[in-house]
Each structure stands twice: as C-alpha cells, then as structure tokens.
A and B are shown apart, each in its own frame.
Chain A
C-alpha cells in the first residue's frame, strides 16, 4: 500500500470542520499542497479540491454527495452514486445526491462532451476513497486497533471486539474540510459490490408514475405563466405591435415590449398561450431576404468564407497508386427535444432564483448577471431536469426569458415554456458541414496518402456571455452574440474526429472554420464528430472497395491500438460479418471511431433493407461493441449507446432543417420528422468490453458517428449506389439510381 502512515496522523477539530495538523507524515504534507506543481488532481478535484465540497456526512450518518454535473436523461446521477457508494462503502440507496446548483455544488462547467464520468466520476471516486481512508484512520485510532482488523459496512466500522463507530459518529457533525490529494487507495475492482454492476436508475420510478420529475412540473406558490412572441426571423424588424389590445384579454397580467422582445404574463398557462397567439397576430414585421436558403446546402457551405487551420501535417504528400476523392455533407439539424425548453424564475428582495435545465448552471449565471446588469452572487441557478437536450438546445435561452420576465414581475415565480414552433425555429442548430477527402492507395493495399478538409461554423456558442442568450439579442439595448470560436484540438468542434484514428503515414487534415453562419449554431450531441466519422468511415468503405478488400479487414489493416482492434473484431464477430451474404435489397455496413480520438471506442455493424420504389430504409439489425474504460453501470452504457444509434439513425435517414431566404420553415414534427417506431431496428445489440482500472470514458456521444457511417455503408451496398449528402431520406434514395 502506497498510503501514508495512518498511525502518525493527528487530527485537530476546529470551527466545525476537521483540519489536518501539519505535524504529519511527509506524504500527507505533500498531499496538502499537491494541487500545485505536483501534477494534476484527478478529474474535477483539480478545480474543486475541498473534500467537503463533494461529500458531507451528518452526525446521524446521513451521507450527501455533491456534483456539478446534471442529469440530462443520460443516467449520470445513478452512475455517480455508484462511484461514490463504492468507495465510501455506503449503500447507494442511503446517499443523497445533490446536482448542479450554484448555491451548493462544485462548479464543473457544462455537463457536456461525454465528460461527466471523467470529470465528476473521477473526482468523486478519489474524494470518496480519501474520505473513507481518513475515517478508517480515525476509527482505528478510536478503537486502538489496526485498520486491517476492522470491518466496514454501510458506513459503520466494527472492531474485532464488536465496538462500532459510524462515519457520522466519528465526525460528530463536523465536515472534512481538507484538500483532496488523489492518493488514497481505490478499492480493487475484484472487491466491488456496486460499481460495475447494473444498478437501476434512481429517477425512473417517478418518471413512469407521474411523479414530479421535471422543471416543467414545478408548481410554486403564486406562480404565473409567460409566453414569448418571437420575431419571424433573426433579421426581422418590428414595425408595429398593438400591445393594448392584448392587455385586456382574460387573465393577462402584463404585456412586455422591449425592443423586438415581446411577451405576455398571465394567471394561467393556456391564457398565456392564447394571449401570446393574439399578440403575434397583432404585430407587424418586415423580414428581409437575408438567408441563403436550403435549396443547395453543399454549395452554400462551400461558398461561405472560411479560415483554413491545419490540424494535422504528417509525412509528405504521395503521388502514384489509385487515387479516390469524394465530398460528403451534412445538413442543418436540430436537437429537437420532445419537451420544449422550460424555466421558472423568481425575483425576491433583489435576489433571483432560476430553476433551469441548462447544462451549465454556473456559466448560465454569469450570462444572466450580464443580461440583468446585476452581480453574479445575486443569482442562484438550480438545475432541475428537463426533456433530454442532446447538447446546447434552448435550455439557457428560456432561462433568460424567465429571468427577464421575473425582473419585470417581481415577487412571483414566472414559468416560461417554449412552444413547439419556437423550439424548432429558434434553438441553436447543429450546423451544415462539408467534407472534401482524397486518398491514394499504395500497391500494398494500404492508404499511402490522405488529404482531408472539413468546413464548418462554430459548434460552441454556449452562454457565458449575455449575447449567447436569444432574448438578449432582441432587447432594445441588444447584446451582440460574441463571435463563434473553434474548439481547439484534441477535442475539436467542427473538426472533432476529423483526424482519422488509423495509421496513416502521410496525412494532412484541415479545419476550414467559418466564423459566420446564417443561423445560430451550437453543440449538437457529438458536434463535428457525427459528420467527420460519417465521412471518414464512408470513405474507408469506398477505399476498401477500390482495394478489393473486406471493409472490416481493411480497417484492421490500418489500426494499431489494441483496444480499437478489439471493438472492431468483437462487433464483426457478434454480427456474423463473415457469415452468409445479405439477401436481395439488403446491405451490410460497418464503421468504427474512437470518440474525440481520446474517449470511448465504438464499432458498429448493421444490416438494412432498402425499398427502391419508396426509398424507405429499414434497419434489420445492428450490433455495437464498445470500450469505455472501466464500466460503472453496464446497463446505463447500453442505454446511451442504443439511444445514440437510434438518434443518429434518425438524423441520418430523415432530418434536415429547411429555410427559405427569410425564415425557418421546419417548425413542427410534420415538417421536421424524426424516427418513429416503424423505422427503428428490428434488433439492436450492444456488447461491452470492460477495462477495470482504466479511466472512465463517457458514452453519451460515442455511437453517433459510427451509426451514421455504418448506415450509409449498408445503404450503399443495398442500393448499389452511394449517397454522400445526408439525410438518406426517401426522396434522395428514390432519386439515387
């Protein structure tokens, strides 16, 4: 054991918290200052090193665990509970978990990028291990026995003679206000009883029985309802608004007009809806023809100015051999949450409380403070679950609506929920992207040269600044959105996964970043990885075909990471890649990616049937293999991977935003259809490769890219023709002959 000598530990109790005396073993002394200069602390402990910011234990042995991450429907609460319960050796059912709240939890930025297990899971794991470790030392001291002689069960130590001490008794109401050092021994995987085992999600019983589960379900005393009337387009000018005619409608408490920001507050929700509808009819707008339209998305993307940023230059360009080139595109797409975004805000005595399903309560608070012109510490943002968001949707925007309207209607909680048309037209979109790729095959059947350029606007316009909040851009004193920024490699934004994970001795990859986009864009689940993996993995199939190689064998020929090879082989084996041939109208496709080239590995094989007459693509079966490091909740991982595959299939087969030169036209589920039960796979399997001891790698975004490419590859085989522009919808499949 590389742990400090517990017997030399002395503890001082002071001021309600427990502080370690400094006459300690050198290891502890190092641990105290370890955050600086001695290598980074694990996960989010680096940002928030105090143990009692993460774990608090009351005198009655009640355990509370804090995380700055938020439940988005991905099951993070349950997985974090498992991690903490495992290291604390406390029954997970007994732990209270507090999630993102600016008044109570660590600031862990956004719940995004499949980072929660890496950031918060890792922090909690080490914090919990250290808490257990310190308490074990205290118990041993109290009992005057060796630690190894004690047993620990559900937060209770027992000495050989039967004396017992609970965590709570040992701390006696004080908290461990100590710096984390990341050095306490972790429980070996073989001894795990909670982590790595399936644990049912704690949030599901309420969700299936009508319990209060969402911000939409908040009913605060005196709450009023508001709805916003948006302009027809971002460039629209308000010519007239007859607000007086609205003020007298039943239940209307207030009509708001600030620049081109229009809203109504009413005593009932449907009355607010009706009044907003009436107000929309009582307004006149002029809408300039300022948009490029979506008649030819690829041409539009290519035509817009871009700044070329090389992100990979390896080897030297090679000539000779067989050279292939292709262009792949992805259209504008939506998060399209089933529940429109919602928030409740209340202003009391100069202090705001905002209940929000934002992915980042702290960055939201900063943006709201700027918007409202108040100090950050006068605002408390509390995360309450909403409908799944799949990235930066309108969650922050509706929180801004609620806060602005609460400012003008102080004292009462103001609830705002967007209407379907607003959500579809105004959420930040996943941007249209374009990929040009060219490769040369060597005589050895390997890729001798690779040249790749991805063109994309920003995928990162999250708040932090008021100008990132939709309402702020419509006020009389409007805030300007800050310029879109690229996310640097290795994670990348539009260029996420633009560098192939394959062994390519000669390769050049360029990110053509577009600072300006015709519509607001931001992070949609997996960001650029969706399009880049679709392009790279489609092209790998085209190259395999040109090399007369089996697509799986061709990929393996270019992989050297054993974990990548393992998922590719496992997916192929479980699918039966080498068994039989697809029937008539059927095709099989394969794809692989390691998300961000540094997170979870995912390989996918699937089979489709394409009806040539109707263009309808049916997914017969899909088999995925995933390596996300040490698995905490196997069923939670499967649920995320399955969901990612089906959502990606929906994007890939059906989805595209349409707008003309003036405004967005896809404003409901009829004009922007998503996958329904008739088109989801007949059969879907997810196989996991558990890697005990390896870092946690999030799985929320691992399968989007591979699913798109495997689908495109299968469709290409079934239809006998390759479609390189998404979506592969019926119209396009009928036309592709």
Chain B
C-alpha cells in the first residue's frame, strides 16, 4: 500500500504494509533515528512522537490510521549544531546516560510545553509518567524540562536569556 504522510512539515510517500506501525516507517522508510523501538506494546514510550500535537507511542499506531495528521519527531526540533530549546536544555542539564529513551522523553515533554507553557513541577512529573528510563536519569530529565519551560517563558516575555 502507498501512504502519504506529513512528517516534520514535509510530505512523504511510503509504500508499506497497512499494519506497519508508524515507528517502523519513520525509522526504516524515512531514516529517522529519533523514535526508538522499546517494547512494541505501548508500555515504555521510547517511540514517542507527536501526532497532531499529541504524544503517541508510534510502535502501536498503524501507518494506515495516520492519514493527513501531522507527525512530528525529535529531528524537527533542531540539530546537533543548532539544537531546539528542549534539546539544548537536555544538553545543558546533561540529561542522558545511554540516551535511548531521551528522544521519546523530549517529544513527550514538547507536547506538554506546547499546551501548558508554564507547567508546575508536579505537572511535569505526572505528564512524563508513561515514559521509562532505565539508567535513572529522571532527576535530570525533570530539570531539563523545567529549564526549557523557563527559557521559553522568558522568550515569550521578551526577556533576554
């Protein structure tokens, strides 16, 4: 089957089986590394991307149901040379050990900050619940999301960082 997908602001046409999860299409057809296979069961969040602005576990979303809804992955937030605000916050807080879960963490956090630009610490904690980190980098991840929210808040108010 052939599908037209909107990924990171660009149209892509992919030929794949209808039941292929979005994760495999992103990784193998579009060569995007960010979303990771963790469980294939929607339990760990390593594959988190944004679909129409909401965080989804792309390992359990068949490509056939995506339709025209925009997909956003961590690659859309910035690059190693020019990281986005959240990515920079993760770098500043050194919020990774093995880092395998981090792209998913960042996309879940981005979805929060898009809807709640000034979250409380408790909101951040509770929002990040679905995503697992095995290295125990949680404290730094929480700090990175906090830092990004504060940076974005300052930018909105016109403060110079």
B133 at the interface (CB under 8 A from A): yes
Q: Name the residue of chain A whose CB is nearest to the CB of B63.
A: A270
Given contacts A73-B135, A340-B37, A676-B132, contact A271 B99 (CB under 8 A): no
Q: Is the CB of B41 within 8 A of A420?
A: yes
In the bound complex, CA of A675 to CA of B44 (Å): 11
* Interface window among A208-216, A540-548, A551-559: A208-216
Q: In B19-59, which residues have CB < 8 Å from any A CB?
A: 19-21, 24, 27-28, 31-34, 36-41, 43-44, 46
Q: In A173-222, which residues have CB < 8 Å from any B CB?
A: 200-201, 203-214, 216-217, 219
Q: Is the CB of B39 within 8 A of A269?
A: no
B134 at the interface (CB under 8 A from A): yes
Q: Is the CB of A217 within 8 A of B33?
A: yes
Task: Return chain A residues, CB-CB under 8 Å to B100.
Answer: 73, 214, 337-339, 386-388
B151 at the interface (CB under 8 A from A): no
Contact of A216 among B36, B78, B97, B140 (CB under 8 A): B36
Q: Is the CB of B134 within 8 A of A338?
A: yes
Given contacts A204-B94, A213-B33, contact A678 B43 (CB under 8 A): no
Q: Name the residue of chain A whose CB is nearest to the CB of B132.
A: A338
Contact of A268 among B28, B40, B73, B136 (CB under 8 A): B28
Task: Return chain A residues, CB-CB under 8 Å to B125.
Answer: 677-678
A1 at the interface (CB under 8 A from B): no
In the bound complex, CA of A214 to CA of B94 (Å): 18
A75 at the interface (CB under 8 A from B): yes
> Quick one: CB contact mask for A494-533 with B, threshold 8 Å, 1 for yes?
0000000000000000000000000000000000000000
Q: In A68-86, which residues have CB < 8 Å from any B CB?
A: 72-75
Contact of A388 among B41, B74, B90, B135 (CB under 8 A): B135
Q: In B70-127, which residues have CB < 8 Å from any A CB?
A: 73-75, 77-80, 83, 87, 90-91, 94, 96-103, 106, 125-126
- How near does chain A come to B128, taking the closest CB pair, in angstroms? 5
Task: Return chain A residues, CB-CB under 8 Å to B75.
Answer: 209-210
Task: Return chain B residues, CB-CB under 8 Å to A4.
Answer: none
- How near does chain A come to B33, taking the closest CB pair, in angstroms? 4
In the bound complex, CA of A359 to CA of B97 (Å): 16
Q: Is the CB of A205 within 8 A of B38?
A: no
B142 at the interface (CB under 8 A from A): yes
Q: Is the CB of A211 within 8 A of B80?
A: yes
Task: Return chain B residues, CB-CB under 8 Å to A329.
Answer: none
* Interface window among A163-171, A593-601, A636-644: A636-644
Q: Is the CB of A669 within 8 A of B132?
A: yes
In the bound complex, CA of A271 to CA of B43 (Å): 22
Q: Is the CB of B91 within 8 A of A674?
A: no
Q: Is the CB of A208 within 8 A of B136?
A: no
Contact of B80 among A206, A271, A336 (CB under 8 A): A206
In the bound complex, CA of A205 to CA of B89 (Å): 11
Contact of A668 among B16, B20, B43 (CB under 8 A): B43
B129 at the interface (CB under 8 A from A): yes
In the bound complex, CA of A200 to CA of B94 (Å): 7
Contact of A419 among B36, B40, B131, B139 (CB under 8 A): B40
- How near does chain B come to A148, taking the closest CB pair, in angstroms? 38
Task: Return chain A residues, CB-CB under 8 Å to B4.
Answer: none
A122 at the interface (CB under 8 A from B): no
Q: Is the CB of B91 within 8 A of A200?
A: yes
Q: Is the CB of B135 within 8 A of A647?
A: yes
The residue in A211, A337, A677, A678 that gathers the most chain B C-beta atoms within 10 A of its C-beta is A677
Q: Is the CB of B37 within 8 A of A337?
A: no
Contact of B40 among A75, A420, A650 (CB under 8 A): A420
A534 at the interface (CB under 8 A from B): no
Contact of B39 among A203, A211, A216, A420 (CB under 8 A): A420
- How near does chain A come to B19, taking the closest CB pair, in angstroms? 8
- How near does chain A come to B24, taking the closest CB pair, in angstroms? 4
Q: Is the CB of A209 within 8 A of B80?
A: yes
Q: Is the CB of A270 within 8 A of B38?
A: no
Task: Return chain A residues, CB-CB under 8 Å to B37.
Answer: 216, 339-340, 417
The residue in A73, A205, A208 that gathers the most chain B C-beta atoms within 10 A of its C-beta is A208
Q: Is the CB of A670 within 8 A of B94?
A: no
Task: Return chain B residues, CB-CB under 8 Å to A639.
Answer: 94, 97, 137, 140
Q: Name the residue of chain B whose CB is nearest to the CB of A681.
A: B139
Task: Return chain A residues, CB-CB under 8 Å to B27.
Answer: 269
Given contacts A338-B38, A420-B41, contact A204 B79 (CB under 8 A): no
In the bound complex, CA of A186 to CA of B87 (Å): 38
Q: Name the residue of chain B whose CB is nearest to the CB of A641.
A: B136
Task: Return chain B residues, CB-CB under 8 Å to A649.
Answer: 136
> Quick one: CB contact mask for A462-485 with B, threshold 8 Å, 1 for yes?
000000000000000000000000
Q: Name the residue of chain B whose CB is nearest to the CB of A676.
A: B129
- How near does chain A come to B117, taking the closest CB pair, in angstroms? 20
Q: Is the CB of A270 within 8 A of B33?
A: no
In the bound complex, CA of A650 to CA of B133 (Å): 11
- How near does chain A come to B79, taking the closest CB pair, in angstroms? 5
Given contacts A208-B91, A210-B74, A270-B17, contact A677 B138 (CB under 8 A): yes
Q: Is the CB of A204 within 8 A of B33?
A: no
Q: Is the CB of B43 within 8 A of A208?
A: no
A680 at the interface (CB under 8 A from B): yes
Task: Return chain B residues, CB-CB under 8 Å to A387.
Answer: 36, 98, 100, 134
Contact of B91 among A204, A417, A646, A670 (CB under 8 A): A204
Q: Name the residue of chain A whose CB is nearest to the CB of B31.
A: A219
Q: Is the CB of A269 within 8 A of B28?
A: yes
- How near does chain A come to B27, taking the closest CB pair, in angstroms? 8
Task: Return chain A residues, CB-CB under 8 Å to B91.
Answer: 200, 204-205, 208
Q: Is the CB of A339 within 8 A of B136?
A: no
Task: Return chain A residues, CB-CB under 8 Å to B101.
Answer: 338
Q: Is the CB of B139 within 8 A of A680?
A: yes
Task: Return chain A residues, CB-CB under 8 Å to B132.
Answer: 338, 669, 674, 676
Task: Return chain A residues, CB-CB under 8 Å to B137.
Answer: 639, 642-643, 646
Q: Is the CB of B136 within 8 A of A201?
A: no
Task: Return chain B residues, CB-CB under 8 Å to A270.
Answer: 16-17, 19-21, 24
Q: Is the CB of A209 within 8 A of B74?
A: yes
Q: Is the CB of B43 within 8 A of A669?
A: yes
Contact of A635 among B31, B94, B134 (CB under 8 A): B94
Q: Name the residue of chain A whose CB is nearest to the CB of B20.
A: A270
Task: Return chain A residues, CB-CB under 8 Å to B36.
Answer: 214, 216, 338-339, 387
Q: Name the residue of chain B whose CB is nearest to the CB of A78.
A: B94
In the bound complex, CA of A200 to CA of B138 (Å): 18
Q: Name the residue of chain A whose CB is nearest to the CB of B144.
A: A208
A390 at the interface (CB under 8 A from B): yes
Given contacts A337-B134, A678-B125, contact A210 B34 (CB under 8 A): yes
- How near does chain A come to B149, taking the closest CB pair, in angstroms? 16
Task: Return chain B residues, CB-CB under 8 Å to A219.
Answer: 28, 31
Q: Is the CB of B134 within 8 A of A674?
A: yes
Q: Is the CB of A205 within 8 A of B94?
A: no
Task: Return chain A residues, CB-CB under 8 Å to B39.
Answer: 420, 668-669
Task: Return chain B residues, CB-CB under 8 Å to A627.
Answer: none
Q: Is the CB of B94 within 8 A of A677?
A: no
The residue in B78, B97, B142 that gathers the most chain A C-beta atoms within 10 A of its C-beta is B97
Task: Return chain A residues, CB-CB under 8 Å to B74.
Answer: 208-210
Task: Return chain A residues, CB-CB under 8 Å to B102.
Answer: 207-208
A684 at the interface (CB under 8 A from B): yes
The 7 closest A-B pairs by CB, nearest first: A73-B98, A646-B136, A388-B98, A210-B34, A207-B99, A643-B136, A387-B100
Q: Which residues of A contact B (CB under 8 A)?
A: 72-75, 200-201, 203-214, 216-217, 219, 250, 268-271, 273-274, 336-340, 385-388, 390, 417, 419-420, 635, 639-640, 642-647, 649-650, 668-670, 674-678, 680-681, 684
A-B contacts, 12 listed (Cβ < 8 Å): A200-B91, A206-B80, A216-B36, A216-B37, A268-B24, A270-B20, A271-B17, A386-B98, A417-B37, A643-B135, A677-B129, A684-B139
Given A210-B34, A677-B129, 11 more contacts at CB 8 Å? Answer: A204-B91, A209-B34, A209-B77, A209-B80, A219-B28, A268-B16, A387-B134, A388-B97, A639-B140, A640-B97, A680-B138
